[in-house]
Amino acid sequence: MVFNGLVRYQPGNSAVIEPDLATEIPEPEMTADGKQTWTFQLRQGVMCHPGPQTESYELTADDVVYSLQKSATTERSAYAGEYAGMTFEKVDTYTVRITLDRPLSPTLFLPKVANYSGGFIVCAQAVEAMGDEAFKTHPVGTGPFMFQEYTPQTAIKLVAFDQYFRGAPKLAGVELRFMPDVSSRELGLQAGDLDVAEGLIEAQWVERINASGNLRADVFGVGEVSFLNINITKPPFDNPLVRQAIAYAISRDDHVALFNEPVAEPVYSVVPAQLLPGGLTREEAEERGVLFEQDIEKAKQLLAEAGYPDGFSIDLITSEMPTYRRNYEVLQAELAEIGIQVNLNVVAHATMHEQIRQDVNPIVIYVAWRPNADAFLTRFFHSDSIIMTGKAPDTNFSHYDKIDDLIEQARYETDPDRQEELWKQANEQVLRDVAAYPLLFTNQVYARSTAVDYGHELVSSLALYPQITELTTINR
Amino acid sequence: MAQAAATASALAGPRLISQRQRAWRTFRQNRTAVAGLVLIILIVAVALAAPLLAPADPTAQSIRMRLQAPSWANPLGRDDYGRDILSRVIYGTRVALQVGILSVLLGGAVGTAIGVIAGYFGGRIEAMLMRLVDILLSFPDLITGLLVVAVLGPGLGKLILAIGLTIAPRFARLAHGPTLSVKKRDFVEAARALGVGNGRILRVHILPNVLGELIVLGSLWTASAIRLEASLSFIGLGVPPPTPTWGQMIRDGTIYLTDAPLYAIGPGLALLITVLAFNLVGDGLRDVLDPRSRA
C-alpha cells in the first residue's frame, strides 16, 4: 500500500505480473559477454510521499537504483542473496538498466523487481535524511497510501496520498490493527468496528461467516504448503525403508479434512502445482510413482523389513499454532498405527522455529509459501541450505543433498518449458527419496463487511492479505 | 492463630476419639459439605472406571467426522480431530485428580515441613525460610506455575511438581503460626525436659497439633490446583497431547463456541463441578475445625 515496484503482481491475482513504476515489461537482451540486461522505462510524474524530513518529490531512476542497491547490500537487507550477481545503473532520468551475470528466465527474474520484499522502491532522499533504522518505522514510498502513525503492537495508520499516479484513493485512509485473537476479530467485524479481518483457516468458519447477512468470507491464494521434512541422516530415518513406511502411514485426505476444502486442498509435491510452474499434479505424481497413498499394511511391512517390527519411539516438538499442531497430532495418531510412538511437546511458535533450526526434530512439519519453485527447492532441499551445517543454513531440515545439480540447472534455464520439466524432476527425486512428504495446501481466509469492495476480484495475493488499493471502496 | 492452636491442642488430648466422632457429626449436619463429599466420591469413581464408562477411545481420531454434532454414539459430539468429547471429558478426570491430589500432597508436605521447622527452631533458620516463603507468596499463583513449567518443560510429572511448588508457601505460612504457639506449651516443654529429641518432638507433638488447619487448606487447594492445571493447559503449558485434559479442551473448544458449543462447555462443567465439590468439602471441614462456628 505504501510502496510500488518496477512491476507488480496484479491486485487480486498474483499469477499475473504487470507494469507498475515501469511503463512496460521489457524483453531481456543478451550482451556479447554472455550477460543479460533488462532495461526499464519509468513512468513520469510519480510522486514520493512527503517524509518527516523531506518534501514530496518526483521519483526517478536515482531512487530505483538506490532501492535495488539497498536490497542487494547484506548489511541493509535480508534479501541481499536474491540480488547477488546483479548490477543496477541509471541510463537517464527515466531509464534504469539491470545487468545479470547469469541470465534468468522471466519467471525467476521479474519477482525480484516486483512489489514484494526486496523489490519495493523506496524514496532515496527520505531514507538518506532519516537513516535506515528510522525508515523501518516510518516508510516513505510512492503508493496510494502514505504512512501516518505506528503504535507498537497496536496499530498502523495510513492516509490517502492524493497525488498517487493511478489517481487519488477512494478511501481516506487505512488503519491496520494488531489483534491476535480470532474471536475478537470476528466480534469486531460483527460490531462494525472492523471492515476486514483475517479469519480462521477452516471451511466451517467460512460457512458460518457467509451465513451471517452482512459479512463475506473470501478464500484465496496464495496459500501455504504444509509438508513433512524427514532428516535423512538421523537413525533410524537414514534408512529409506523407514521413510517409505512413514509416507505410507500418512493419509493425505485426513490432513486436508482437518481444514476442509475449499480452504485446504491436497498437494502432491512440495511445490504446489495449483499455483506454481514446476509442481506435480496428482496424475503426474502417480505416473512418476511418487504418490504414496495410505497403505498401513505396506507401511508395517516396510518397517519390519527395515528391522523395526515393533516400531520405535521419537520425541517431536510442535508450535501451538493450529496449522502446525493439528498436523503433528494427526501424524502422531497415524504413526501410532504402525508402531511408531511420537512423544509430542507443544511449545511457543517462536521456540519451535528456533529449535527446529537446531535439529531438534527428526521430522519437521513446515508450513510455507515461496514465490517460485526455485525458492522452494533451494531453501528446503539444496545442500547449501542444510540447517546448522550448510554453507548458508536456511530451512533444509531433511539434510537433503541429492538435487543440487537439478536446482542449479533449472535456475539458469531460460526456456520456461524446459525449466518447468527440470523442477518437476527435482520434485520427483525429493519424493522418491522421501526426504519430504507434501500434506496439504491451505488458502488464506479473510472476512469483510459486504460494504467493502476491494476494487478487484480476489483470487490470490502474495502478501497473504487482500490488497487495499486506490480503487477499494466502502459503501455504507 | 490462637484459636487454631487451641483447636489443635484440644484435638490432641485424650478425648481424641470422641472429638473425632463429634467432628463427623458436625460435618454430617452440613448438607452442602456432604453433597461435596458425595460428588468427590463420584468423581473418583469416574476416574477409576474411565475405561468402562467412556463410550470410545479418547485418542482415536476420525478426522472426516470432526466437529460432528452430538448424537447417541457421541453425546457431546466430536472434537476438531473427530474424537469423542464425552470420552475425553471422562478421561480428563484422571489428569485433573492426579494433578489436584498429588500436587497438594507434594506442596503440603514440603510447605508444612518448612513452616514447622521454621517455627520450631526460630532464629536465623526461621528468618531465612519465612522470607523465602514471603517472596514466593508475593507472586500470583499462575505466574509461579508458569515460571516453573517454563523452566522444567512440559509433562504430567513436571506439571504436578510446578503446581506443588506453587502451593507449598501457603502451607508453610499456615503451619508456621500454630507451631510458634504449640512449641511454648507445657507438654512440649515437658518432652524437651525429658530429653526427647527434636525430630520426635516435631513428629509426635507439633505436627499432629497443626494438621487440622492444614487439612482444610489441602482440600481447598485441591480445587485450586485443578483450576491451576486447567489454566496452565489453557495457555498451552499443560500435559502434552494426545492426553485429554479439561483446560486444553476448553482452550481448543473456545474457537468453536458457536459451531460445537459442547466442546468447551462439557469439560467446563466437569471442571466447575469438581472444583465446587472440593471447595464445599473444604468449607465443611473448616466449620468442623473452627470452634467459633460450633453451635
The helix (run of H) or strand (run of E) holding residue A125 is: helix A124-130
Is the CB of A329 less than 8 angstroms away from the CB of B81?
yes
B118, B210, B133, B209: which is closest to B168 by C-alpha?
B133
Is the CB of A333 less than 8 angstroms away from the CB of B242?
yes
A395, A358, A357: which is closest to A378 by C-alpha?
A395
How far apart CA A437 and CA A269 sit, in angstroms, is 7
User: Are A427 and A306 in the same domain?
Assistant: yes
Q: Domain map of chain B by residue range?
A: 46-55+79-293
- pLDDT per position as a tens digit, B184-222: 888 888 888 888 888 888 887 888 878 877 888 888 888
Contacts of A208 in chain B (CB under 8 A): 258-259
Please check whether residue A466 lies inside any domain of the structure.
no
SS3 of residue A290 by DSSP: coil
Please check whether residue A229 lies inside any domain of the structure.
yes
- The predicted structure's pLDDT at residue B295: 41
- pLDDT per position as a tens digit, A67-90: 999 999 989 988 888 898 999 999
How far apart CA A185 and CA A166 sit, in angstroms, is 32
How far apart CA A453 and CA A471 sit, in angstroms, is 8
Give the residue-averaged pLDDT of A347-363: 92
Nearest CA in chain A to B81: A258
Q: How far is CA B167 from CA B6, B107, B170, in A?
A: 25, 5, 6
How would you classify the pairing of strands A363-368 and A215-230?
Answer: antiparallel
How far apart CA A85 and CA A64 sit, in angstroms, is 17
Q: Output the nine-digit C-alpha cell for A78.
A: 535480508
Give the residue-averaged pLDDT of A40-47: 96
Domain extent at residue A24: 7-142
pLDDT-derived band at B294, boundaries 50, 70, 90: very low
SS3 of residue A318 by DSSP: strand
Give the residue-averaged pLDDT of B86-103: 92
Q: How many CA atoms lie within 13 A of A391 on its CB side?
A: 8
Please check whether residue A42 lies inside any domain of the structure.
yes
Is the CB of B81 less than 8 angstroms away from the CB of A330?
yes
Q: How many CA atoms lie within 13 A of A357 on its CB side?
A: 13
**Residues shown for chain A:** 476
pLDDT-derived band at B290, boundaries 50, 70, 90: low
- pLDDT per position as a tens digit, A277-301: 999 999 999 999 999 999 999 999 9
ipTM of the complex: 0.77
User: Are A246 and A388 in the same domain?
Assistant: yes
- pLDDT per position as a tens digit, A232-260: 999 999 999 999 999 999 999 999 999 88
- Min Cα distance A205 → chain B (Å) is 8
User: Are A237 and A386 in the same domain?
Assistant: yes
Q: How many CA atoms lie within 13 A of A353 on its CB side?
A: 7
- pLDDT per position as a tens digit, A133-157: 999 999 999 999 999 999 988 999 9
B157 touches chain A (CB under 8 A): no
User: Are A226 and A93 in the same domain?
Assistant: no
Please check whether residue A167 lies inside any domain of the structure.
no
Give the residue-averaged pLDDT of B172-187: 86
**Residues shown for chain B:** 295
How far apart CA B295 and CA B284 sit, in angstroms, is 14
B158 touches chain A (CB under 8 A): no
- The predicted structure's pLDDT at residue B2: 47
Nearest CA in chain A to B238: A346
Q: How far is CA A70 from CA A128, A135, A147, A369, in A?
A: 11, 13, 20, 24
User: Are A238 and A125 in the same domain?
Assistant: no
Whole-structure pTM over 0.95, yes or no? no
Q: Mean pLDDT score of chain A, rounded to an integer?
A: 93
B1: pLDDT strictly greater than 70: no
User: Are A128 and A232 in the same domain?
Assistant: no
User: How many percent of chain A have pLDDT more than 70?
Assistant: 100
CATH of the domain at A122: 3.90.76.10
Please check whether residue A371 lies inside any domain of the structure.
yes
User: Are A133 and A233 in the same domain?
Assistant: no
**Minimum-distance CB partner of A344 among B80, B240, B254:** B240
- The predicted structure's pLDDT at residue B16: 53
User: Are A132 and A264 in the same domain?
Assistant: no
Please check whether residue A450 lies inside any domain of the structure.
no
Please check whether residue A463 lies inside any domain of the structure.
no
User: Are A135 and A262 in the same domain?
Assistant: no
Number of domains, chain A:
2
CATH of the domain at A310: 3.10.105.10
Residue pointed to by grid coordinates 484422571: B94
Contacts of A346 in chain B (CB under 8 A): 154, 236, 240-241
User: Are A238 and A363 in the same domain?
Assistant: yes
Contacts of B153 in chain A (CB under 8 A): 345
Contacts of B259 in chain A (CB under 8 A): 204, 208
Spell out the residues 6+ positions from residue B161 whose beta carbon is closer than 8 angstroms to its own: B103, B106, B148, B152
Domain B46-55+79-293, CATH class in plain words: mainly alpha
Q: How far is CA B13 from CA B18, B205, B294, in A?
A: 10, 11, 19
- Is pLDDT larger for residue A202 or for residue B3? A202
Is the CB of A345 less than 8 angstroms away from the CB of B154?
yes
Give DSSP secondary structure letters for A75-95.
TT-TTGGGGTTEEEEEEETTE
How far apart CA A185 and CA A195 sit, in angstroms, is 10
Is the CB of B255 less than 8 angstroms away from the CB of A183?
yes
Please check whether residue A189 lies inside any domain of the structure.
no
**Helices B123-137/B156-182 angle, 10° precision:** 130
- The predicted structure's pLDDT at residue A57: 95
